Amino acid sequence: MRVFIIILQFAFYSDAEKDAFVYPTILQERSTERNLVLRLNDKFTLNLQRSSVLADKLLFVTTSDEVNHLEEIDTSAIQKTLYHDTHYQSSVRVQQRDDAVQVEGIINDKLRIKPVPEGERSMKGQILHKIYEVNNMNEGSFIAEEKPRKSHIEANVDQNPSAKPKGVNSRRIEERRNREEFEVELHIICDQKHQSNFDKNEDLIGYMAVFMNAANLRYLDIRNPKVRFLLVGITREKGKPFRSRHSRYTDTTETLNRLQAYEAEKKVPGKHDALLLVTGLDLVKVQNGHLEKGIAGRAFMAAVCSSHGVGVAEDTATTYMGVNTVAHELAHILGSDHDTSPRCPWREGYLMSYVDGGLRKYRLSQCSQDSIRDVYRGLNSQCKRVLTKVNYMDKHREFPGETVGVKYYCRKRIFHYTKGKKVKAFALKGTQDAQNCKMQCCYWQGNMRTCWPTPMLERMTCLKGKTCKRGVCGVHEW
């Protein structure tokens, strides 16, 4: 077995004292390939472990004002590049590019690292990187979250969560709880301003993976159950469905209500437990005509697995400045209020306080953990299951193209991504798509048309007199 030891040797400093330029170098030694040791200097040595934050098949949605384009992304290549360090709360991607190392992400709460594309390479061909400092979002700028009415969430709650099955003793129940893990399936919408900073879809996916990988580190202490966010979908929002009438900032109340309505109308494809809007605009609070700036995020309380399980958070793209904000808002969705009790005082500065408690601000207090456990134990089994790992097409391999109608096929194909809601599906067969044995399965949601690129089944008609066989449209022998 091998371990990759990455040594970042400082090449030179920029005029700004807080910036440094380095060349990453990989050395191979005996150990496991899942671990990396990242040495920056005598002060920082990161012991990196392989991370898991992406669903195997991630739903990627590109949305304009009138149409959704959906893709199913195999994340295995990205997943192999994700690492974290629990001590420094580091979250980075480590990639091999042209026989050189490329590192990008979070070193700690202040320092970030990224490649310098235009930078000169070293004599050994190493890529120049920049280590720089960022300021976190204002920790005191969250606002009070709203609690949805009981009727909004009761469908996702067991009626008697505390009741234990007959014949099962409390000791066995506790042992089972100790092994429990709550994988919260999360869909993130990146608004027009935020997503515009990423030219390629892979770049946006990679950034949000590192982002949520860092957010997951805030939940490492909780047990019974363990909590981990699984990124199952990303929407690249090119329209302006959530933006308020102001051009440079967005009102949190108005935006949160629009987002909740959007989720209630099932306009976000796929299956998820929580929905988060990440915005590049300034968040504000407007009350009685008064505009309050400096707001970082907002979410509904204890609303996971319901249409109110939504939140909004501000982030400056490519800086990861909003990680703590997102972790904070997601804790609200899972059931945690702010730390204001005598047992968990505000001044201690855990994640659910605005006070800077040092390392504590990257952890949940015992009160927050207890609140999340209480909500979790009341959730029904469907909410607790990971639904996105089910591959719909694996269940329907037995239906050949000559016996399955196109409309029926599209309806079944789309069913998985509309949360079981019945829609009027139809197929679009463009000549170019058909020549490649592909078509578009579509449906209307109000005035919004959503289309899913879909491969045709074996022996399904592609062009006149021709069928599909192993992805080739032609006259085949069967």
The residues carrying an active-site annotation are 329
Strand order in the sheet with 249-251: 249-251, 282-287, 290-295
Spatial strand order of the sheet with 226-237 comes to 297-299, 310-314, 274-279, 181-190, 226-237, 54-63, 67-74, 448-455, 438-445, 425-428
Token digits for 195?
A: 């997503």
Task: Enter the DSSP assignment of 105.
Answer: E
Contact 59, 120 (CB under 8 A): no
The DSSP bridge pattern shows strands 35-39 and 45-50 to be antiparallel
87 is in an annotated binding site: no
CA 131 to mean position of chain CA atoms: 25
For residues 383 and 273, the answer to whether their CB atoms sit within 8 Å is yes
343 exposure class (CB count in 10 Å sphere: 0-12, 13-18, 19+): exposed
Q: Which residues contact 420 (CB under 8 A, 6 or more apart)?
A: none
Which residues, 6 or more positions from 169, have their beta carbon under 8 angstroms from its beta carbon? Answer: none
In sequence order, the 6+-apart residues with CB closer than 8 A to the CB of 62 are: 68, 69, 71, 201, 235, 236, 238
328 known member of a binding site: yes
Q: How many CA atoms lie within 13 A of 125 on its CB side?
A: 7
Give the helix/strand (H/E) hosting 255.
Answer: helix 252-264
Which is nearest to 214 in space by CA: 325, 103, 333, 335? 325
Q: What DSSP line would sit under 290-339, residue for residue?
A: EEEEEE-EEEBSS-TTSTT-EEEEE--TTTTTTHHHHHHHHHHHHT---S
Q: How far apart are CA 210 and CA 81, in angstroms?
A: 10
Binding site annotation covers 152? no
Query: Closest by alpha carbon to 401, among 434, 425, 432?
Result: 434
**Residues marked as binding?**
328, 332, 338
**Residues marked as binding for Zn(2+)?**
328, 332, 338
